Structure 1
Amino acid sequence: MILWKEIEIYDLIQLSKNSYTVNSGLMGGALYFWNETSHNFYIPYGMITPTLLDVAAITDLPPLGGKILTTTKSTTGVKYAIDISSTTYQSFILNNRGQDEAPVSDNEHIAFLLYWLSGVVFCTQSIQVEVTYLPLAIMLAEGRKLCLAKLFLTRLYLTLDWITDLMREKKRITNVDGPVWFFQLWLSSIFESELQQRLTQKGPTDSVIAGHRLLNLVFPDKLMASHDKMKHFFCAFITYQRKTTTSI
């Protein structure tokens, strides 16, 4: 836990323990305005998009830190024994768990982080552990302060590009690849004045990140609408907010 706080992933791990109510109408409606070239939403008064500061505010991932490249890897030279013979979540967990009541080993810690990155943070489409994240999990376990926020935001942009392509081709979206959960939280921050508290949701009350507050918000029944209705609502609401802000 101390290590997680030092490398600034603790709050995101805590946020990951909670669930949220998916609003596909809201996300689908907003994506009608997404432009894959500029990675912005084009609306009447201009462009808006999730930024690194949004990622920092909602997840507490720092916008600064060591670069993450395909060539970035551990420099300690330590060899770890992570069993990747089976990458389905259940098998991976069983193959890498330690003895009950025994202290958490480095291998268990790395396995947990790999599972967390694959299944919770980046939400891989294959619904199994993504081995390409193993070097990243190792470096985090070793205490490296990396700029996860940039990698996360890039992954989000690619996800929105991918979904938009499927929507344009009128293909069915059955298993989304990427952190769409963050996209919904970001949209919730825009519509926060229109949302209501979800009384059944539990989470830390002393957390400084916006993510916990946004997870507790849901759209009233009157706004749980189809993609087309949410498209018009999204555009009208953003335009109204802009006019109100400008007049002030």
Structure 2
Amino acid sequence: MISSWVETGIFEFVQLAKFDLHLFDPQMLISAIFFWNRETRAFEFPCGFVCPTLLDIAAITGLAPIGDRFYPDAFEEEISIKETSISWDKKTYLALINAHIGKPGTLVSTSEHIAFLMYWLSFCVFCTPSLQVPKYYYILAQALHLKNKICLSKLLLASLYHCLDEASESLFRESGPQNLSGPLWLLQLWLNAILEKKLSLTSSFAPVCELEGARLTTLTPRKRSINNFAKYIDAILSFGQFSEDLAPFIRTSLIGPSWLRQNNQVWNMAPDSIEMWFGFLFWDVIISGMR
């Protein structure tokens, strides 16, 4: 398991679940979503269109742009859902965990591991609106369990874009906004990165996980004020020209995977680096639907 997970960055990404990814600043998120253009799939800042990219995903989560594209019809159900003893009648995440957690000191069973991966995908990664684990994550969970080389970064990016489309539409609906779902934690961390200097976001906490995402979780503003919304809007409107703040992960002090930090000059690139950057630059169609 470890080898394929390390290669694609999934092993490091799982470590982010140890941090509070669900700590949001609603005013910061809403102020950004107001600038989301559903036609261009980007934030319409004064300097032009800006949006999270695969490079941002890689820096924040450690996920590499390599591996097989995932969508349900492309992967077979190699472990039949009928063969596992997963209890689908559990109505909450806690009930699912309690039903499948193994005894201390025993090996993790196939059902236990797949159940954990489904919980992790539902609650920590894609943040579904359901209060229980949806069955449509089973195929992805069993593919990860079987060490298949999955390109989770592109699937996560597509899910974020889909989430932003729904959030933007919801905010401007006549009946009023509805509860938002999806990987909004990723939007929060990306905003923390691009607004870090403008808003002087700081933290004294030193995360032990060597990922930008772990550090960025500590920058989410915790103090709420009625003036914050206007402050966030002003910060976004101050991007009159494209600056290094909008490309926060192209710097020598970047923490994260070695392949992202190492020397990547064109004339001095290792074969592994070429594969990585080919994954970043190659034109692709990303599908996020799993329902």
TM-score for both structures, normalised by structure 1: 0.86
Counterparts of 1:1-248 in structure 2 under 5 Å?
Answer: 2-3=2-3, 4-19=5-20, 21-74=23-76, 76=78, 79-169=83-173, 173=177, 175-193=179-197, 194-199=199-204, 201=205, 203-204=207-208, 207=210, 209-219=211-221, 225-236=227-238, 238-239=239-240, 242=243
The amino acid across from 1:97 in the alignment is: I
The amino acid across from 1:2 in the alignment is: I
Deviation at 1:174, TM superposition (A): 5.9
The amino acid across from 1:34 in the alignment is: W
- Is contact 1:23–1:224 with CA below 8 Å preserved after alignment? no
Over 3 Å counting, the alpha-carbon distance change for 1:108 and 1:195 in structure 2 is farther
SS of 2:74's partner is: coil
Deviates more, 1:52-61 or 1:13-22: 13-22
Deviation at 1:195, TM superposition (A): 3.4
> Deviations along 1:84-142, whole A, 9 cap, x unmatched?
12242122112222233211112111111100000000001112212101100000011
TM-score for both structures, normalised by structure 2: 0.74
Over 3 Å counting, the alpha-carbon distance change for 1:121 and 1:244 in structure 2 is closer
Displaced runs of 4+ in structure 1, greater than 6 A?
Answer: none
The amino acid across from 1:113 in the alignment is: L
Deviation at 1:204, TM superposition (A): 1.5
SS of 1:71's partner is: helix
- Is contact 1:87–1:130 with CA below 8 Å preserved after alignment? no
Aligned-pair identity in percent equals: 33
Over 3 Å counting, the alpha-carbon distance change for 1:52 and 1:46 in structure 2 is same
- Is contact 1:57–1:211 with CA below 8 Å preserved after alignment? yes
Deviation at 1:154, TM superposition (A): 1.1
The amino acid across from 1:108 in the alignment is: E
SS of 1:143's partner is: coil
- Is contact 1:51–1:153 with CA below 8 Å preserved after alignment? yes
Deviation at 1:15, TM superposition (A): 0.9
The CA distance in 2 between the partners of 1:202 and 1:103, in whole Å, is 33
The CA distance in 2 between the partners of 1:167 and 1:226, in whole Å, is 18
- Is contact 2:189–2:216 with CA below 8 Å preserved after alignment? yes
Over 3 Å counting, the alpha-carbon distance change for 1:32 and 1:96 in structure 2 is same
Q: Which runs of 5+ in 2 are unaligned?
A: 247-291
Over 3 Å counting, the alpha-carbon distance change for 1:135 and 1:75 in structure 2 is closer
- Is contact 2:92–2:132 with CA below 8 Å preserved after alignment? yes
Q: How many residues align structurally?
A: 241
- Is contact 2:195–2:235 with CA below 8 Å preserved after alignment? no
> Deviations along 1:162-221, whole A, 9 cap, x unmatched?
11111112655563210000001001110122333333x56325x1x3111211213485
SS of 2:44's partner is: strand
